[in-house]
Amino acid sequence: MRDETKMEVIEKSAEGLDRKFQVKVSAEELDKKLVSKLQEVKGRVQLKGFRKGKAPISHLKKLYGKGMMSEIIQDIVTETSQKAFSERDLQPAMPPRPELTSKIDDVIEGKADLEYDLHAEILPNFDPMDVSTLKLTRPVAEVPEADIDEALSKIAAQQVSYKARGKTAKAKEKDQVLIDFVGKIDDVEFDGGKGEGFELVLGSGQFIPGFEDQLIGAKTDDDVEVKVTFPEEYHAKDLAGKEAVFDVKVHEVRAPEDVAVDDELAKKVGLESLDDLKKRIKERLEADHKDMSRSHLKRTLLDKLDEAHDFDLPQGMVDGEFEQIWRQVESTERDEEDKDKTDEELKEEYRKIAERRVRLGLVLAEIGKRAEVKVPSEELQQAIQRQAMQEAQYMQMQGQNISPQEVLQFYQKNPQAIQQVRAPLFEEKVVDYIIERATVTDKTVSKEKLMEEPDGDL
């Protein structure tokens, strides 16, 4: 077991959440660490003129001392930085920033003590409110039968089949046409513009605007020239905004056949009966309602927690949260309500949002800490695996050859990445804990009201 480093710590300043310490580790303590480390490797070193393991420490110091001392100093700065705060029961909001004040070359050569200043903001010390005094309203809504019927109709539409019309029948919207097509720009075929035996439902929006409309009225065996212009924002940049002509051969026109909403439909989707299908649909819709009820309840809960707490915030955390929000704002198109605002006005608004998020994060963390709220390890592992799968799929779409297992290994080696997955799980556990102890009253609202997104920023 490694001996703790002896150090001298002097508090230089304490203003609000700001703390600055002067840390000193004597040259004797550093030399002791160096000798201990050299003793560890002595038995493995083979030097000319000495039997293996018999070279004196003084000789090893000359050969390896400077390199080893550099490593020792890095380790000591990390260790003593943590110790300086923990011994005073202070928790840094972000990793402390060390700044060497002694000459590093003299320290490495054993001529001077290691001295450095240590600066950090600490987490605020506060007592969270008694959550059992909270009174919350949870909006709820019944699942209308009309919603179940609408879902059934959509399922039936997905199971629709098509039957050939007569050879003289003209294609109508919602008909399916069996076609071959060849696309050209300036009489030259382009990649991806050719297809054979394609089944296209007119009005489905599968093809670029204007294509399907020009096939309405076509008959079996017709040859149709379709003229279109690719949208300016088309994903293939070499085609965006260009005019194209498609030579289309219509092999068959087919009419949709109505699908009855009955037991047979249920069997097509793998269920026993129509009643079973309705039950599954209702359960899914009820789950959607439950999720939205919780979203509204959580929003109300966070509003009340925000109102009930007022304490100094670590500005480094606020700055970090604001910068993340602002990057997202700059990368997306502004809403109508924000278009006429200056950057300064928007930054002021989003800084308040950043402050709210940091404050609520600290409140939830403290409530969870005192309540000993835990995230089960199996739940965390499942979340990490899901995240790894999603990230691998995204990277593969970007052309990177990476497997979910490789992403998973990254998480296993990076505690900070794991913490980013754990944080939202922990937050939901704490919210559950509070809801269980608060007084919650259900209020029946319309489905439309329930499905509105909660106002504001969580």
CATH code for the structural domain at 161-257:
3.10.50.40
Q: What is the reported pLDDT for 3? A: 63
**What is the chain's mean pLDDT, rounded?**
90
Tell me what pLDDT residue 80 has: 81
Measured CA distances, 18 to 15, 102, 312, 361, 366 (Å): 5, 23, 11, 20, 20
Give the pLDDT confidence score for residue 48 in this predicted structure. 66
pLDDT of residue 1: 42
Q: How confident is the model at residue 50 (pLDDT cuts 50, 70, 90)?
A: low
More confident residue, 421 or 412: 421
Q: CA angle 437-443-448, nearest 5°?
A: 125
DSSP string, 119-174: EEEBPP--PPP-GGG-EEEEEE----HHHHHHHHHHHHHHT-EEEE--TTPPP-TT
Does residue 45 register a pLDDT over 70?
A: no
pLDDT confidence bin for 320, thresholds 50/70/90: very high
| pLDDT over 70 at 458, yes or no | no
Collapsing DSSP states into helix, strand and coil, what is residue 227? strand
Q: Alpha-carbon distance 315 to 436, whole Å?
A: 33
Domain 274-450, CATH class in plain words: mainly alpha
AA letter at 113:
D
Hey, how many other C-beta atoms are within 10 angstroms of the C-beta on 220? Answer: 19
Q: What is the pLDDT of residue 39?
A: 77
Tell me the pTM: 0.75
Distance CA 218, CA 170 (A): 5
| Crossing angle of helices 274-308 and 145-158, rounded to 10° | 120
- Greatest extent of the chain over all pairs of C-alpha atoms, in Å: 104
201-234 residue pLDDT tens: 999 999 999 999 999 999 999 999 999 999 998 8
User: What does DSSP say about strands 135-140 and 439-444: parallel, antiparallel, or unpaired?
Assistant: parallel
- pLDDT one-digit tens code per residue, 251-308: 999 999 888 999 999 999 999 999 999 999 999 999 999 999 999 999 999 999 999 9
Mean pLDDT to the nearest integer, 147-159 = 92
Start-end ranges of CATH 3.30.70.1050 in the chain?
A: 8-121
Q: What is the pLDDT of residues 89-137, one digit of tens each?
A: 899 999 888 898 988 888 888 888 989 999 999 999 999 999 999 999 9
User: At 393, which amino acid appears?
Assistant: Q
Residues of the chain with CATH 1.10.3120: 274-450
pLDDT of residue 49: 61
The secondary structure of the chain in percent helix, strand, coil, rounded to multiples of 5, reads 50, 20, 30
The contacts of residue 131 (CB under 8 Å, 6+ apart) are: 367, 433, 434, 437, 438
Percent share of the chain, pLDDT over 90 = 61
Quick one: average pLDDT of 343-358? 94
CATH architecture designation of domain 8-121? 2-Layer Sandwich (3.30)
Is the pLDDT at 172 greater than 70? The verdict is: yes
pLDDT for 63 beyond 80: no
65 — pLDDT class (breaks 50, 70, 90): low
pLDDT in tens, 360-371: 999 999 999 999
